[in-house]
Structure 1
Amino acid sequence: MSSETTGTASRVSEARDVRMQADARGVPASIMMPRLMLIVTTLCLVLFGLVMVFSASTVQQIASGSSILSSVGKQAVWVLAGALGAYGLARFVPYQVWEGRWSNVVWVGACLLLLAVAAFGTEIYGAKRWLYIGGMSMQPSEFAKIAFVLMAAKMMQKLDEGTLRGGHLVAFIIIVFMIPIAVLLKTQSDLGTTLIILLGVIAVLWLAEIPLALIVGGVALVGVLGVLAIALGGFRSARIQVWLNPWNDGSDGFGTGFQIIRSMYAFASGGLTGVGLGYSHEKYLYLPMADSDFIFSVVGEELGLLGCVALIVLFLLFLFAGLAIAHKAPDMFGRTLAGGMTVMLVGQAFLNMSCACGLLPTTGKPLPFVSSGGSSMLASMIMVGYILSVSFGSNTLTTYEKRRNDLRVVSAKPARESQPTRRRVQKDPADIGGVSWDSFSRRRTNAGSDLPLASGRSTNGRSSESSTSSGSRRRRS
């Protein structure tokens, strides 16, 4: 077993012990409040998403001859599976586990899934991003985002400890980040997922307090590479032109610009308060992907501007809670892990909403917790589990509590109650006549030094009368 694995195992064991002791004495409000806020906002987003998926998918299910509960039923199953996974991660798996080799396992699994998509993937809507396993489809790029944030947080932890420097750091960046992202772009042409991954990595760098100049330089480099990718990819440049003018798509708005045009019609029909829940017109097979990529357009049409603002507020509360949890994390790995996951989720949400409004070109990324889709829902709930795991691991003992718990008290044999404790006075060999110098001093103090000795015996060769006469001379003087 390597020293890294041994060190990680000891830290995990210590974290479990400290967590049990800290939970026994209670959770501070500064840790509990962000945790509750994250749970409540996630629950609200999930319930909101189930309602909107049911509303946006009913017409499509009827047209296909399926039950109107078919789509929302599948989504509910994914919600339940994701909730169980998030609970298991948060309660039973300390986040320090992912600081060791298990993060490498997750990364290797994600890379293998990306290669499997390149070899055996299914092309849908002109993009090869889905993998069918046992009759069920999955989008591995949704889970690859988790692996990249884990490895970025691990890299920052190693940099903080001083165990990753120089050539090893460069090799780590090339092997772990640059090569897999290049494969993702080449095989899946998924620029949206690439942008979301880079956003999460930038958030990790920011939370790790990397100098701002380096972060800005990295963002500029990514921007240049993105422009080159758009220029070299013919379909991307065509998408940019359609984004600038959807009606100039070569088919008078009935070609590639049709989707964004119908989305704009949906927002225009909704107005301030919307046409009412379930009364959308665009979901009648006018707006493609109404229950997934463009579900925010249905929200704008049925619930209006107020409904859209309420959804945005929920995501902002989620961002605040996640960053507050990251702020209270006890170490670099926990802080960057929770913060990176939070920024990635909220960043994807605002990317989806911006594309639906026409502020950005269409990327095909779902709205977390709201859009229909098992891969997106499961990945989003797993990320919530990681964030909550950091929150549960943040309730640690203070320095004084650790010192108090480390004290070892040696118990003495208790005295018998039947025998009262007596003070044993050791007699001085210099005592003469049964009177000690201690008793003599106490008698002089209590009596104001003017009373004769109780005994008539001489002490140190002097009589009691001489002691009385000397006391009288002192009073006269």
Structure 2
Amino acid sequence: MMPRILLVVATILLVLIGLVMVFSASTIEAISQGDGMFSYVGKQALFVVVGGVIAFALAKFIPYHVWQGGPWFWIGWGAAMLMLLAVPIVGTEILGAKRWIFIGGMSIQPTEFAKIALVVAAAGILHRYREEMKSGRDTLVAAALLVVLPLGFLYVTQSDMGSAIVILMGAFAVMWVGEVPLRWIVPLFLVIVVVGVGGMVGYRADRISVWLDPWNDGYGGYGTGYQMIRSFYAFAEGGLFGVGLGNSREKFLYLPEAETDFIFSVIGEELGLIGALSVIALFLVVLFAGLRIAHHAPDAFGTAMAGGLTVMLVGQAFLNMACATGIFPTTGKPLPFISSGGSSVLASLFIVGLIMSVSVGSNVLTPYERRRNDLNVIRVEHPGRDEAAGSGRAERVRTRGERTGETDARRRSRRSDSASPSSRAEGRRKTPGASSRDEDALRQSRRERARQRALDSERGRR
């Protein structure tokens, strides 16, 4: 129960921090656009409620085994892939990137849901390879069709290296918790690094150079390096304890995307180093709880799915915070649970629901445990051997009596002494003859013991 409680508490605290910080960071921009000051946080709260209800349903009513490869998995994976295919055709370009589609008047970023489907698919492939003894060729074909091909399509059509990095984090985590040998993981990792470095051309190369020196962006810090510089200013103004909740200066349209990609900078400014470290600590709690749930999962699929989703979720959080602090180039990935955006908060809560379903499933006995608990010990009777064993025990009793010099009368007297007075009285009432014989034997044994003690004392004096 402890990892489950930690995961729920940390998630609730992160969501509450997100609602407060979205309201603080978005009010100025909402007013400048002619919207109400609660427009951003109102939408965020609605998505939190919807995501929380769905996460509860995933954890409570839908066993995680249904995502192993049955109809539920194919419906979820197919829906995510259809949305990815729709982006190049009917997608909407926002801030120079075409990654959103509008459904029912609401913008959706399909990559937020596709990353969940790809990691769950990787967990299912690894489980079938290890438990169902699938051949290596079939496993590679399944991985290529269900994971690698959609990932490559996402990277090429949307030019979304941030999402590709996050999905690869989850995939490598699946292999790690699934105990895939390092001789397979390391070469694959090196190949991906080479491909990634080879893709650093065009605007990506410019982004790397700006990341190394944002003030040298060709416009004196007012070009592509402007956002990074304003993020640095936010952290510098925050100091140790911050300027106070709601008192950020950078949110006055100085820091672009203050309520989404760079909301961690506003946290650092208003809540200071203490607030920023508190957010980091909560994500570390999520990481610990998720990995403990994966460790206690009842099967390999539960371990791989919970471990992969946990690492992907927390990995995205640290990727966002690394970009905001200048440790990593800007990737445009939101901060889970905190950044404004319906797709991000829904996907983050979906992940928590799936991890919780593994935790709930850990309380159910596996088929192997049920069969073990149903075993009954049956004693097989062997008449010949049992009679021989009984005669052997009787012979041992007689031998012990002869060796100790114990007479039948003495044994009867000991049994008579150990019996209760009521039972002896009952015995006398039922069998008076037997009672008189027992009393004679008792007196005889007492006389023998007195005679033996006298002989022993006489020998001692001599």
Q: Does 1:143 align with 2:135?
A: no
Measured in 2, the distance between the counterparts of 1:100 and 1:400 equals 23
CA shift at 1:401, angstroms? 7.2
Question: Is 1:111–1:144's contact at 8 Å kept on the other side of the alignment?
Answer: yes
Q: What is the aligned counterpart of 2:91 among 107, 117, 121?
A: 121
Question: Which string of whole-angstrom CA distances, capped at 9 and with x for unpartnered residues, describes residues 348-378 of structure 1?
Answer: 0000000001111100000000000000000
Partner of 1:70: 39
Partner of 1:277: 245
Question: Which string of whole-angstrom CA distances, capped at 9 and with x for unpartnered residues, describes residues 78-132 of structure 1?
Answer: 0000000000000001111111222232222211111100111011111110001
Please state whether the residue corresponding to 2:316 is helix, strand or coil.
helix
Q: What is the aligned counterpart of 1:96 among 52, 65, 76?
A: 65
Question: Which string of whole-angstrom CA distances, capped at 9 and with x for unpartnered residues, describes residues 61-82 of structure 1?
Answer: 1111211111101000000000
Superposition pairs of residues 74-473 of structure 1, within 5 angstroms: 74-101=43-70, 102-231=72-201, 234-397=202-365, 446=412
Question: Is 2:122–2:143's contact at 8 Å kept on the other side of the alignment?
Answer: no
CA shift at 1:169, angstroms? 1.6
Please state whether the residue corresponding to 2:249 is helix, strand or coil.
coil
Partner of 1:427: none
Unaligned runs of 5+ in 1: 1-31, 410-441, 456-474
Please state whether the residue corresponding to 1:247 is helix, strand or coil.
coil
With the length of structure 1 as denominator, give the TM-score of the two structures. 0.78
Measured in 2, the distance between the counterparts of 1:281 and 1:113 equals 38
CA shift at 1:396, angstroms? 3.1
Partner of 2:428: none
Stretch deviating more after TM superposition (245-254 or 339-348): 245-254
More helix by share: 2
For 2:34, give the aligned amino acid. G
Please state whether the residue corresponding to 1:230 is helix, strand or coil.
coil
Question: Which string of whole-angstrom CA distances, capped at 9 and with x for unpartnered residues, describes residues 272-292 of structure 1?
Answer: 111110000000000000000
> What percentage of aligned pairs have identical amino acids?
56
For 2:9, give the aligned amino acid. V
Question: Which string of whole-angstrom CA distances, capped at 9 and with x for unpartnered residues, describes residues 384-414 of structure 1?
Answer: 00000000000134878765567699xxxxx
Measured in 1, the distance between the counterparts of 2:198 and 2:373 equals 60
Q: What is the aligned counterpart of 2:23 among 37, 47, 54?
A: 54
Question: Which string of whole-angstrom CA distances, capped at 9 and with x for unpartnered residues, describes residues 315-339 of structure 1?
Answer: 0011000000001001000001111
CA shift at 1:167, angstroms? 2.1
Measured in 2, the distance between the counterparts of 1:312 and 1:400 equals 39
Please state whether the residue corresponding to 1:137 is helix, strand or coil.
strand
Question: Is 1:149–1:200's contact at 8 Å kept on the other side of the alignment?
Answer: yes
Measured in 1, the distance between the counterparts of 2:410 and 2:274 equals 92
Question: Is 1:185–1:194's contact at 8 Å kept on the other side of the alignment?
Answer: yes
Partner of 1:8: none
With the length of structure 2 as denominator, give the TM-score of the two structures. 0.80
Q: Does 1:40 align with 2:22?
A: no
Question: Which string of whole-angstrom CA distances, capped at 9 and with x for unpartnered residues, describes residues 200-243 of structure 1?
Answer: 00000000001123212111111111111113xx1111111111
For 1:275, give the aligned amino acid. V
For 1:78, give the aligned amino acid. F
Measured in 1, the distance between the counterparts of 2:233 and 2:411 equals 104
Measured in 2, the distance between the counterparts of 1:113 and 1:164 equals 30
Question: Is 1:104–1:151's contact at 8 Å kept on the other side of the alignment?
Answer: no
Stretch deviating more after TM superposition (197-206 or 175-184): 175-184
Measured in 2, the distance between the counterparts of 1:218 and 1:64 equals 47
Change beyond 3 A, Cα 1:408–1:96: farther
For 1:247, give the aligned amino acid. W
Partner of 2:447: none
Question: Is 2:27–2:37's contact at 8 Å kept on the other side of the alignment?
Answer: yes
CA shift at 1:166, angstroms? 2.8
Stretch deviating more after TM superposition (61-70 or 390-399): 390-399
For 1:210, give the aligned amino acid. V
CA shift at 1:250, angstroms? 1.5
CA shift at 1:443, angstroms? 9.4
Measured in 2, the distance between the counterparts of 1:344 and 1:351 equals 10
Please state whether the residue corresponding to 2:25 is helix, strand or coil.
helix
Measured in 1, the distance between the counterparts of 2:134 and 2:348 equals 30
Question: Is 1:279–1:302's contact at 8 Å kept on the other side of the alignment?
Answer: yes
Question: Is 2:129–2:136's contact at 8 Å kept on the other side of the alignment?
Answer: no
Measured in 2, the distance between the counterparts of 1:110 and 1:404 equals 41
Question: Which string of whole-angstrom CA distances, capped at 9 and with x for unpartnered residues, describes residues 288-307 of structure 1?
Answer: 00000000000011011111
Question: Is 1:266–1:282's contact at 8 Å kept on the other side of the alignment?
Answer: yes
Measured in 1, the distance between the counterparts of 2:369 and 2:136 equals 38
Number of residue pairs matched by the alignment: 391
For 1:53, give the aligned amino acid. V
Unaligned runs of 5+ in 2: 379-407, 415-431, 435-450, 452-462
